[in-house]
Structure 1
Amino acid sequence: MDRTQTKGLTTAAAAGILARHGPNRLPVEHRPHLAARVGHQLRDPMIMMLCAAWVVVLAIGDRQDATIIAAVVVLNTVIGVVQEVRAQRAVDALTRLASPRAHVLRDDVVVEVEAVDVVPGDLVRLEAGDVVPADLLVVDSSALQVDESAMTGESVPVDRAVADEVLAGTVVSRGRGWGVVVRTGPDSGLGRIAALVASAAPRPTPLQRRLSVLSRQLVVVTAVLCAVVAVLSVLRGSSYVDAAVLAVSLGVAAIPESLPAVVTVALALGAHRMAGRSAVVRSLPAVETLGSVTVLASDKTGTLTKGVLVARRLWTPEGTCTVSGDAHNVHGEVVGSPLAEKGAARLLRDAVLCNDATLGVRDQGAWLAVGDPFDVALLVAAAKQGLTAEVLARRWTRVEGVPFDEASRLMRTVHRDEHGVLLEVWKGAPETVLDLLPPGPDVAAARAEAESLAAQGYRVLAVAESGTWVGLVGVVDPPHPDARAVVDACRAAGVRIVMITGDHPGTARAIATSVGILRDGGEVCDGDAVARGEHAARVESVDVYARTRPEQKVSIVEAWQAHGDVVAMTGDGVNDAPALRRADIGVAMGGRGTEVARQSADLVLVDDNLETLLVAIGEGRRVHANIRTFLRYGLAGGLAEMLVILLAPLLGMPLPLTPAMILWVNMVTHGVPGVAFGAEPLDPDLMRRPSPSPLRSILDRTLSRQIVTAGLMTAAVSLTVGWLAYRSDGPIQTVVFLTLGLGQLGVALALRAPRSKGSWRERGLELAVLGAGVCQVAGVLVPWLRDLLGTEPLSGRYLVALLAAASLPGLLVAAGRVVGRRRGGREVL
């Protein structure tokens, strides 16, 4: 169709179409009301238990404990609601991406309208820098080139000729043209991606799934034990009200109500530390999810590679030359035999003449390039041999030219020198240029070499002049210098890296091999195989996915998740948004990434460096380990308290603890010390072994054994000193109260993570334990606290003896950890 064959729409016709089709706006998914979001958070079993505990402690007059529990409930609910609200932002970002204005032909006059008012049938004018407002069918093109990287993942702009389509959300990078609107709003390519984003509901994080299971388990076990305690209390002569208060108080002691606060602090501190390392977390649960990652699905361009095309190989009939240096500065040279360098000089001269890009030099020798990345790569290579457009312009003048055409895959220019000699240069795809030349040995050799370079991962351009073969240029997007080290470090940490790209399988294979992703026997799976679902059954053997489309990235992520893995997905374009949402952890690039990708992701790498992601994974494992350590500590203390209450009557002892004592011990030991566990430093061993299976319960067999062991030791010491006090008519409740609290604090010190010598910033747990210990002893020494808790004063000698006894559980736990490490064992996450 020709531009002159359509006159666009009239204003009246456009208004009618707008009324029928609706505005050119992306769909907005339904948003639950705030009350519904809050109600969803409050249905968590542990939160319900905390609410019940709040009622009980408020009823017995402990306003301080009631305030702490209420604050924990409110904080946990707020965090959950914020996380749900974040999920809507990805679709909102897609809406903001649409062009706010567009130039359309209405009533035979070009007018500027809001992009939301563009309708099917509109004739839209496109110029360099415009964002395409809707899906268009090109009806007129003058060197029209569109950057589709945000939609397709391809790093190279593509030419668009008459009868080609351009998609909404892409950007015109060069030339001009006209297009008829064929799809708008939800029906456009951008709209379909928005639908994918909206339908890809994020899964609960591994931490959320594990804590949900743990909450239900704790509620059931605690309810049973509380019922047992209530029955025993009644049998011992207590009233039903006193028995109920004691049982529920014991239930509060058994539930680690500081857990949400510990989780929040651990996640917040992890997010803060990661932000200092150029990794910005958009949702706190993502911090812990990073520590559980088992598969990293990484895109290629700009992540594993530099994202800049560089000419590396120059092949001519005279020989082969290599180009050193990179694409960002003037350092580098063309190296080969003298005869090969002569042929390379001719090849680069023609590549500069048949070129529409421009190249200047900034301060400190950096390039300032404008134009097609392929053309820029050729200019940079030529400049390293002293050939620039300015130098060649002194001899050659362009008299004719045909821009590169995507259909013919060819660019042609004609030049005249000062003597009137004409030089015709062809540049383009090897198969196109070689078909224009008469058959011969050089042409046959060039075809074979072009195939060889392509198999090695090069993008190949061919150059000929005036019917004579000149040579081939091998262009690459070189691997990032840190990529292989990051891949090796991830593999050592048990994280599998796979590469997903829209590039040719040969290019993808070469890059994956160079950075160490493609293993011996590893497979390269193309997009067609993914579309047929063949990848799902062999995810373990596939290292590289090539020629993928946006919806296939989601399928790849889902295949790994079905395999039982926690998947992190990196991306920077609009096409990556659905996969970023579907992945367990979406990672967007902050520098070159689109706003849509950043809004869809859980983590944004400000420096676009994959090494930063490795640091973030370490922080995630640190958070996960700290939460497990707190569970070991908190549940062991709760178990010790329950065992003391349950077993003391069997030993003939009176009630060893009052409800007020239980709540005090619980508050002191689980308060500040519990939160301090969230700031424990990273154990280096965590990054030298795989992360735990996402299918494993957070309260697994190993952790359960550790909890039971520590709880039994603390309870045994507390019951022993209580029994001795009972036999000597001593203050049973006071000695059990003091020993039980101090014993738990000793276990907290024994569970410390390895720390640097002399680093006071890592001494938060020690200071918290010291403060909690002072509060526990104050419950015996301070008169008004004695009245509140029902304790009795003790002599200094008695206190020292109890302190020595209370230190035994911690010493035994610490000794067990030291022995285990010396024997080659290690702490399990």
Structure 2
Amino acid sequence: MTTPMLAGTRGLTEAEVAERVEAGRTNETKRHTSRPLSAILRANFFTPLNAVIAVLAVIAITFGTLQEDLFYGLKQALFVGVIIANILIGTVQELRAKRTLDKLSLMNTANARVLRDGEVIEIDPATIVADDIVVIEPGDRIVVDGPVVESRNLEIDESLLTGEADPVAKAPGDEVRSGSFAVAGTGKFRAEQIGADSYAAKLVEEASKFTLARSELREGINRFIKLINWLIVPIALLLIISQASDLENWREIVVSTVAGIVPMIPEGLVLLTSVAFAVGVIRLGARHCLVQELPAIEGLARTDVLCLDKTGTLTEGGMDVEEIRPVPGEGEDPLVALAALDASDDSPNPTMQAIGAYLQERDAEDPGWRVIDAMPFSSARKWSGTRFTDNGTWLLGAPDILLDQSDPVALEADMLAAQGLRVLALVTAESASTTGGVTGVKPQALVVLRQRLRSTAAATLEYFKEQGVAVKIISGDSPAAVGAVAAQLGVDGAGDTVDARRLPEDPEELADLLENNTIFGRVKPHQKRDFIKALQSRGHTVAMTGDGVNDVLALKDADLGIAMGSGSAAARSVAQVVLLDDEFATLPHVVNEGRRVLGNIGRVSNLFLTKTVYAISLALFIAIGAIGSWIAGGDPLPYPFLPIHQSLINAFTIGIPAFFLALAPTFDRAKPGFVKRTLKFAIPAGLACAIPTFVVYLASLAHDGTDSKLPQTTAGITLFCLALAALAIVAKPYTWWKVTLVAACGGAFLLVLSVPWLADFYELGLPGVWNTTAAAIGIGSGIAALLLWLVVRPKHHAE
């Protein structure tokens, strides 16, 4: 793609570019839009939990082999199979997410424009070479550093570098740095610091890499892991000490102690969380939604306030000129003046592009007026203009900014805006400057444009209303125009649009106003940022959509920034989510994916933490009982299970069902308090599983003795049935496949008990009438406790 040569230098020649490429003086850097394969493998394989599991497996194999044979030892280490399956699943899913993210990131990369051999061409920023002349227009993100060589009222926003919100005017010789972006005017600069020497090498990577940023879900899981790590060591030592009294069977004691430690570890929880996030990335990628940070999926699910920029979000990118209304009695044809303004604008914004198309349809040609100075459009000023040699100064901008509000033309503009039309005033002025303001304004015409509403906007807004998400529409347009668009979309409160020019400066008063109003017009860029902070000060989780350079500060400060794919490179670089096809209707799918992740990982966490609680409780009960028996001079109290028993129970009550539950569809609203909510389930559920199992085991030991398999079998049946009951509670609300899943897991365990060679393999025996009765009593009491504490009691408290 080429455009006519701009004034000034002709740029580098093809030979000069080739020479610099050969010397390695290019802007190419290692971009990590996703984690490399080595990092994915390390993250999935080499974790502290996997290390503990591996050590326990080696111990089980070694001492199981010493006790009997290699087959026996390998059989006792079957619990490693769940870890291997989780690792493989996690790795494959994250690799799929990596491919999706890399592909979408390429689509999201904005080209740079450089001057070479007298022509402006678009190239990949990575192919910029040293001394290239880079051409910049409003909305362009600066990707390398260097001095300005040409400036036509060029203004650069350096807020992402310095924190200062005010744009900085740049003259020839001034430095521009990567990470900033142009907000007004046009210009060129020479690329000096490129590649690893530029700010962009760090900022682009930070803006687009595949990260595991702050996440309440991950932080909660990490807290569980730390707590469990602190508990495992002393309880495992206590269990080992308690079992050491039976020195004759020390090999068997070591193996059974491993069986007591293994279920304390929530081995698959972290991996299944990564899988759920990765699957979300893949699903949203299919909808052309680029998730630049994994927890962004979680973010929108937690959002309770969504701030929408009208232009580009509720309306489509383009506009159409409805009509030009000349002011009666004025001399100059407004079409001629508009044609002159269009010709003087090197970088027309969408509004001027629509006017240019209108002029072209009517064969309105450039009158050839000589330009003294061009003043580019700025979202802060709300106008643009040009000073001509013989034809005075002409401005085009917001009527409520340029016109006296008592002027009949201003009243006419308000009436048109109230119909949902966008209105601009074409005026002449005695003087105007980008710093000194405007004087001697005389209206010449009104330019009436019609914005294109997105066909899906109304349904999407209705969705957020139904979900209890408060929507705030904030726009730089006039309050009347914004209110009219909101009314067309059926937004509540569209008739009470707030003019942001009269907003209070006190943050508390601003927060009150934002709580009670929905539509805001004439909002300046720095005010959008103030809106975000005010809403956050009231405890809201705020998402912000935008597409222009004026949205960058708010996108950066929001809990979740959502940019449109056709928007400015600056907006896309700071957003966590980019809608590559500009489709506002994709946001409900992002919400649903977030809810799927949060809801399902909550369910899975309930299962894993229930297992941890009952494992720790059983280990404590056995240790205390064994020490008490040893002090009293009685028989030793062995741990009730072998590792292979735990492998069987865990596989069918947690491992297999957790995988399906983690990826299941769910639309439950996200709720805060993940850690507290999970513990409120896991602690009573774990105790309801552990206490009946321990009592049944003691009774069976007293009845059958330690040489029989029946105490282990009876305890195993009791624990399995209670863990399956906990799974059934977690699986709510029920669907056919969930009922089938729970039934299949129960049937698989029954099959193991009833098939002799399977029962022998898993070291179990068929229980007799006494054992079955004892197990039934234990199961009944445990299920009653589960139902009372986890089903009936919450409903009673809710009432």
Question: Displacement, 1:658?
Answer: 3.1
Change (3 A) 1:272 1:112: closer
Shift of 1:283: 6.1
Structure 1 residues 593 and 429: CA distance shift in structure 2, 3 A: closer
Which amino acid in the other structure matches residue 708 of structure 1?
Answer: I
What letter corresponds to residue 648 of structure 2 in structure 1?
A: W
Structure 1 segment 415-814 matched on structure 2, within 5 A: 428-429=395-396, 444-446=407-409, 458-462=422-426, 471-475=445-449, 477=451, 480=454, 483=457, 486=460, 489-490=463-464, 493=467, 495=469, 503=476, 524=500, 546-548=523-525, 568-572=543-547, 585=560, 587-590=562-565, 592=566, 603-605=577-579, 607-647=581-621, 649=625, 654-655=637-638, 656-683=640-667, 686-687=668-669, 691-693=670-672, 696=673, 698-700=674-676, 702-726=677-701, 728-729=703-704, 731-755=710-734, 760=736, 763=737, 765-794=738-767, 802=775, 806=779, 809-810=782-783, 813=786
Q: Distance in 2 between matches of 1:809 and 1:795?
A: 21
The equivalences for 1:107-506 within 5 A come to 181-186=189-194, 195-198=202-205, 203-235=213-245, 241-271=251-281, 274=284, 279=289, 281=291, 285-294=295-304, 296=306, 298-310=308-320, 351=335, 355=339, 373-374=350-351, 400-402=367-369, 406-407=374-375, 409=384, 428-429=395-396, 444-446=407-409, 458-462=422-426, 471-475=445-449, 477=451, 480=454, 483=457, 486=460, 489-490=463-464, 493=467, 495=469, 503=476
SS at match of 1:461: strand
What amino acid maps onto 1:617 in structure 2?
Answer: V
Amino acid at match of 1:748: L
How far apart, in 2, do the equivalents of 1:356 and 1:248 lie? 84
Aligned to 1:364: none
Checking the alignment, whether the CA contact within 8 Å between 2:551 and 2:571 is kept in structure 1 is yes
Distance 1:739 1:280, change over 3 A: farther
Q: Shift of the alpha carbon at 1:217? A: 0.9
User: Cα 1:27–1:278, aligned 2, differ >3 Å: closer, same or farther?
Assistant: closer
Q: Would you say the 8 A contact 1:205–1:584 is kept in 2? A: no
| Matching residue of 2:431 | none
Task: Confirm or deny: 8 A CA contact 1:312 1:474 kept in the other structure.
Answer: yes
Residue 198 to residue 564, structure 1, CA distance change in 2 (3 Å): farther
Query: Structure 1 pair 626/185, CA: closer, same or farther in 2 (3 Å)?
Result: same
Which whole-Å CA distance do the structure 2 matches of 1:469 and 1:642 have between them?
A: 81
Q: C-alpha separation between the residues in 1 aligned to 2:321 and 2:133?
A: 40
Q: CA deviation at 1:737?
A: 0.7
In the TM superposition, what is the alpha-carbon distance from 1:308 to its structure 2 partner? 2.9
Amino acid at match of 2:726: V
The TM-score, its normalising length taken from structure 1, stands at 0.65
Q: Which amino acid aligns with 1:777?
A: L
Q: Note closer, same or farther for the CA distance 1:602–1:785 as it changes in structure 2 (3 Å cut).
A: farther
Pairwise CA distance, 1:745? 1.0
Unpaired segments ≥5 residues, structure 2: 63-72, 161-168, 180-184, 377-383, 429-440, 630-634
The secondary structure found in structure 2 opposite 1:262 is helix
Kindly provide the amino acid, as one letter, of the partner of residue 206 in structure 1: E
Normalised by the size of structure 2, how large is the TM-score?
0.67
Paired residues for 1:43-54 under 5 Å:
44-54=47-57
- Offset from partner CA, 1:554-591 (integer Å, 9 cap, x none): 9998998899776645455789889878876554435x
- What amino acid is the match of 1:771? A
Q: Per-residue deviation at 1:519? A: 12
Instruction: Give the 3 Å change call, closer, same or farther, for CA 375–274 of structure 1 in structure 2.
Output: closer
- Judged with a 3 Å threshold, the aligned counterparts in structure 2 of structure 1 residues 538 and 232 are, in CA distance, closer, same or farther, namely farther
Contact 2:483 2:496 in 1 (8 A): no
- Structure 1 residue 133, shift from structure 2 partner: 9.9
Instruction: Say how many residue pairs are matched.
Output: 712
**Per-residue deviation at 1:744?**
0.8
Q: Would you say the 8 A contact 2:324–2:448 is kept in 1?
A: yes
Say if 2:98 is the partner of 1:98: no
Secondary structure class of the residue paired with 1:657: coil
Q: Which amino acid aligns with 1:445?
A: P
- Identify the range of structure 1 (535-544 vs 40-49) with the bigger mean alpha-carbon deviation: 535-544
Read off the aligned partner of 1:742 and give its amino acid letter.
C
What is the identity, as a one-letter code, of the residue corresponding to 2:746?
A: G
Contact 1:295/1:566 (8 A) holds in 2 = yes
Q: What amino acid sits opposite 1:664 in the alignment?
A: L
Is 2:544–2:561's contact at 8 Å kept on the other side of the alignment? yes
Contact 1:430 1:450 in 2 (8 A): no
Q: Residues 799 and 704 of structure 1: is their aligned pair in 2 closer, same or farther, counting only changes over 3 Å?
A: same
For residues 177-228 of structure 1, what are the alpha-carbon distances to aligned partners after superposition, in whole Å with 9 as ceiling and x for unaligned?
A: 997644555599x965665444568633332222222111111122222222
| Percent identical | 22
Shift in CA distance, 791/57, structure 1 to aligned 2, threshold 3 Å = same
Structure 1, 86-95 or 716-725: larger mean CA deviation: 86-95
State the alpha-carbon separation in 2 of the partners of residues 81 and 554 from structure 1. 36
After TM superposition, the structure 1 stretch with the greater mean CA deviation from structure 2, 276-285 or 260-269, is 276-285
Alignment partner of 1:791: what SS?
coil
The answer (yes or no) to whether the contact 2:290–2:580 under 8 Å persists in 1 is yes
Alpha-carbon distance between aligned partners in 2 of 1:76 and 1:401, rounded to the nearest angstrom: 65
Q: CA deviation at 1:265?
A: 4.6
Structure 1 residue 644 displacement after superposition: 3.7
Kindly provide the amino acid, as one letter, of the partner of residue 69 in structure 1.
I
Q: Is the 8 A contact 1:267 1:623 kept in 2?
A: yes
- Matched residue SS, 2:651: helix
| Cα distance change on mapping 1:824 and 1:525 into 2, 3 Å | farther
Structure 1 pair 5/719, CA: closer, same or farther in 2 (3 Å)? closer
**Offset of residue 49 of structure 1:** 3.4
Q: Relative to 1, partners in 2 of residues 1:677 and 1:94: Cα closer, same or farther, differing over 3 Å?
A: closer
CA 1:573/1:81 → structure 2, altered by over 3 Å: closer, same or farther? farther
Q: Which of 21, 24, 27 is equivalent to 1:25?
A: 27
2:311 alignment partner, SS class: coil
Alignment-mate amino acid for residue 716 of structure 1: I
Using the alignment, how far apart are the partners of 1:352 and 1:811 within structure 2? Answer: 86
Could you report, residue by residue, the CA deviation over 1:508-559 in whole angstroms, capped at 9, with x for unpaired residues?
97589765699989895999x9xxxx9799778768794438xx99999899
How well do the aligned residues superpose, as a CA RMSD in angstroms? Answer: 6.4
The CA deviation string for residues 16-44 of structure 1, in whole angstroms up to 9 with x for no partner, is 9979x994627657999976776577675
Letter in 2 for 1:608: D
Shift, 1:295, TM fit: 5.3
Question: Post-superposition shift, 1:253?
Answer: 0.8
Matches within 5 A, 1:30-69: 44-59=47-62, 60-61=73-74, 62-69=76-83
Equivalent pair of 1:97/1:596 in contact (CA under 8 Å): no
**Partner residue, 1:329:** none
CA distance in 2, matches of 1:434, 1:789: 82
- The residue identity in structure 2 corresponding to 1:259 is L
